[in-house]
Structure 1
Amino acid sequence: MDDRIVDSDSLDWEAHDHGDRAFRGRRFTRASAASELGCSLYEIEPGKRGWPAHYHEGNEEAMFVLDGSATLWLGGDREERDLEAGDFAVFPRGEDGQHELEAGPDGLRYLAMSTMYDPDITVYPDNDAVGVFAGSPPGGDESERRLSKYLDADAEVPYWDGGDGGSQREE
């Protein structure tokens, strides 16, 4: 099999249904030879939302609208923008790249692209949470991941606590 070319019809849809968030996707990167480029096809049902509002500290994302329309909330100030077929939106690393989508009355079909740098931290401002990934970035091969945790953004332990009890030292 030549993993440089992927027939999208050969991939299973991954469905996500979490109340007002209902969508499905086909992840091309996992089936391909790509190592630093991610691409997935997503469909969001009319009036439903996709992934929760988030941004990445390690990876850029982008989307190209194939069909339908959406409302996009962009950046930390949640600037509202309308998207339609043919629009290309870029989400840089950091808070400026924060985004969330809600499909219009005919639904939304789009390609999502991203760099696939490892490690990555994903920030979810609405939930005061972070996702931490090492070994494989979000959207990458989960079997290669050494670390994958979603944590309360305020979770913290003192640097020198734990372990053998004798490792604490004054700086």
Structure 2
Amino acid sequence: MKKVNESAIDWKAYEREETMFRRKELSSAVDADDLGCSLYELPPGRRSWPYHYHTANEEAIYVLAGDGQLRTEEGLEPLTAGDFVTLPADESGGHRLVNDGEETLRYLAISTMNEPDVTIYPEMEKFGVFVGSPPGGRDERSFHGYYNIDDETSYWDE
């Protein structure tokens, strides 16, 4: 067993356009192999990672404090402290958190850590490929990259 208190972990800040949040990688701090868990703080008026879904990793969100919305393929779903949401490893698990409340939205994001994984970003018309370490993984990857969904190439060069 390994144990860590979140107060011993530094925040990592992410900011780009409407995306802005802080993250503490709890599972990394205890060298977890098959389970990912991060603590997030999403300020009012901001959004989390761009809308996406994984093809190999199931995720879950547990709201600790604050109110917000979960953007899904069906629209916006309200979130409040105590809510637990599962996000399957397919298109139905598409998600993005939105803090439309007046307080910081604090939540845990939990996931399996399977690789390889392909992560689809429908609104960005991109996908990411992760081999050797899953998204959010701690190990060096043997292959990874982001690609446009519409890019097409033949198997054989013509």
Report the TM range for the smaller structure's normalisation.
over 0.9
Shift of 1:7: 2.2
How many angstroms apart in 1 are the aligned matches of 2:4 and 2:144? 27
Gaps of 5+ in 2: none
Aligned to 1:108: 105
Indicate the residue corresponding to 1:137 in structure 2.
134
RMSD between superposed Cα atoms in Å: 1.4
How many residue pairs align between the two structures?
157
- Structure 1 runs (4+) deviating above 6 angstroms are none
| Unmatched 5+ stretches in structure 1 | 162-167
Listed one character per residue, the Cα deviations across residues 56-90 of structure 1 (whole Å, up to 9, x for unaligned) are: 00000000000001111113xx3221000000011
State the distance in 1 between where 2:31 and 2:20 align. 29
Partner of residue 25, structure 1: 23
Is structure 2 residue 78 aligned with structure 1 residue 82?
A: yes
* CA–CA separation in structure 2 for the residues paired with 1:93 and 1:130: 14
1:120-158: CA deviation from partner (whole Å, max 9, x where unpaired): 0000000100010000001111x4211120110122321
- Aligned-residue sequence identity (percent) comes to 46
TM-score by length of 1: 0.87
Q: Partners in 1 of 2:6 and 2:142 — Cα distance?
A: 28
Residue type matched to 2:36 in 1?
A: G
